[in-house]
Amino acid sequence: MSEDGGRRFGVWAPECTRVDLRIGDCDHAMHRDDGGWWHVVVPAARHGDDYAFVLDGSGEPLPDPRSLRQPRGVHGPSRVYDHAAFAWSDADWRGRALPGCVVYELHIGTFTPEGTFDAAIGRLDHLVDLGADLVQLMPVNAFGGTDHGWGYDGVLWGAVHEPYGGPDGLKRFVDACHRRGLGVLLDVVYNHLGPEGAYLPRFGPYFNGDTAWGPSLNLDGPGSDEVRRYVADNALGWLRDFHLDGLRLDAVHALHDSRARHLLTELSAEVDALAAGLRRPLSLIAESDRNDPATVTSREAGGHGLAAQWCDDLHHALHTALTGEGHGYYADFTAPDVLAWTLARTFLHDGCYSGFRGRSHGAPVDPARIPGHRFLAYLQNHDQVGNRAAGDRMAATASPGLLACGAALVFCSPYTPMVFMGEEWAASTPWPFFASFTEPGLVDGVRAGRRREFAAHGWDEAEVCDPVDPRTRERAVLRWDERERPPHRETLETYRRLIALRRDRPELADPRLDRFRVDAAPDGRALVLHRGRLRVACNLRADAAEVDLDLPAGRVLLSSAAAEADGVRLHLPAESFAVVEAAEPMP
């Protein structure tokens, strides 16, 4: 609002010679300042009015690049939205710091059959009962198509996808999570635009070059000061106005920035300043394939200062050991010693040669300087399931016993555990890539692109799900009734007990990598994690194993089968795990 009570509209369009604001049937001429911003005050404009911008007299109304609401989709007008109109009930919420937390990743469009925020609220008690601490939402900003999609094709970064429930729906969801003690993280995509409704480049030099998925953000060329401000304002807006507890930054390796101070460094500094003002912790979590510890190294020590990053090396090592797959990027993870090595050192590729990439890759993590909670460990996530030809989950390949072993390794490690929705009960539903684009050329291009991508990773074209067939999304919707039937019921109980034990025994959440040790048999199929006075033993073999615990004596706290501790030895049945406590305090 302006000082005289009217509503002030602004848009950055530095290369335009004329910009008009259209509200209803009336166009209002805007005035340019020296920075390329155009402004106008409209006295009668109010919350709920639709508006758009017309550039250079073209007559074509375009949505606001900083739109907060798109009720008619990404091609329609923006709508004036006042954050102050929502009544929050979370005034006592003090946030969730990442260390010690369990993260639960979910997709609003397939978490329930309805695919809305309000329907998802009805399932939050399940997450509380499971023991989750932070809910990580896949992207919910406006994207092209009729209704459903992954969300990584977003084009309006500040508007909440209307079919999910719009901005008020997201706020109701966050408010409901906070009432239950759950923090909320949001996945945001700043590295590219989706293919439908991408009007942003028409307003100014927002992009320069390309990534594998679309135009590359202009972070270091002419005009990039405002582009960087656009990203920072968007991130801060999610955290401040939607009361979110953190952001997951998609594919930060695709943010091409040659400036002396990287965008990630600037963003982490601004988020830390906001957290100080709000008096609650805020977390930035990166997705990065660089294996670069600088991502999560503090700014004071010369890093970017992010709270954490996803760690695909941990996933790949676990996946290969549990499923036996060795094609594509899994080929680097097939040696017997890889799982133990990666669990102990975080990255397999820490400067060594990667056969998949054809070059050396990554840098080592210093266990004395960087704690394990800065790396998310997981058996599954949306990428590692959805970027399979059939979208099949690990439960389609690995036995219930091996799945339980994998969960034990994740939850009893020094890393931050993350669960992908439905994983906790070994959901039978696949989760392939899907979209709802309607433009014929785009639909054909998406189909062809997915086939090429999967062929490059060794999958047969016949296995590839049709991403724009509505049935592909429908098959991905969770079947909540599975939780009450075997073997799903037993898997769910294992997850609950592991998370409860992690909460009850601080040793299991201890993130200090320099106090973490992994022993393994020569074949890599029997492992022991050393966690203070606890030992987590896993037998991945198809027959029983005798495991040395390096304890004077012990008692079994939790096991997935009838494990027996006999002094310093543990008898583990095939494909099972056990958590054993030393009978006496350790020296």
Q: What is the gyration radius of the CA atoms in the chain, in angstroms?
A: 25
To the question of whether residue 251 is assigned a binding role by annotation, the answer is yes
Number of residues that this document lists for the chain: 587
- CB of 501 within 8 A of CB of 508? yes
Judge whether 287 counts as a catalytic residue: yes
226 catalytic, yes or no? no
Of 50, 287, 510, 575, which one is the catalytic site residue? 287
Known binding residue 384? Answer is yes
Question: Is the preceding omega at residue 167 within 30 degrees of 0, hence cis?
Answer: no
Query: Residue 387, annotated ligand binder?
Result: yes
Burial of 277 (0-12, 13-18, 19+ CB in 10 A): exposed
Q: Is 361 a known ligand-binding residue?
A: no
- Among 503, 285, 454, 295, CA closest to 377: 285
* 107 annotated as ligand-binding: no
User: Do residues 564 and 548 touch, judged by C-beta distance below 8 A?
Assistant: no
Instruction: Extract the tokens encoding 195.
Output: 């293919």
C-beta neighbour count of 364 within 10 angstroms: 15
Q: Is 385 annotated as a binding residue?
A: yes
* DSSP 8-state secondary structure symbol assigned to residue 397: T
Tell whether 250 is in a known binding site: yes
Q: Pairing between strand 154-160 and 353-354? A: unpaired
Beta strands in 81-137 (DSSP E): 103-106, 134-137
Residue 470 has phi, psi (to 5 degrees) of -55, -25
Residue entry with tokens 């198809």: 542
Q: Is 217 annotated as a binding-site member?
A: no
382 is in an annotated binding site: yes
Please count the helices (runs of H) and the strands (runs of E) in the chain.
14, 30
Q: What angle do the packed helices 338-345 and 312-323 form, to 10 degrees?
A: 150
Residues 6+ apart with CB under 8 A from 168: 86
Stated as kind and residue range, the H or E segment containing 501 is: helix 488-504
Q: Is 386 annotated as a binding residue?
A: yes
What is the token pair recorded at 227? Answer: 């582009």
Consult the annotation and say whether 315 binds a ligand.
yes
Q: Establish whether 504 is an annotated binding residue.
A: no
Per-residue DSSP letter, 447: H
Q: Which residues of 486-501 are buried (b: 16+ CB within 10 A; e: fewer)?
A: eebeebbebbebbbeb
The verdict on whether residue 192 carries a ligand-binding annotation is no
CA-angle at 575, arms to 569 and 576, nearest 5°: 55
141 annotated binding-site participant: no
Residues 271 and 261: their CA atoms lie apart, in Å, by 16
Catalytic residue among 250, 350, 423, 482: 250
- The answer to the question of whether 252 is labelled as a binding residue is yes
List, as residue ranges, the binding site for substrate. 248-253, 312-316, 382-387
* Residues known to be catalytic: 250, 287
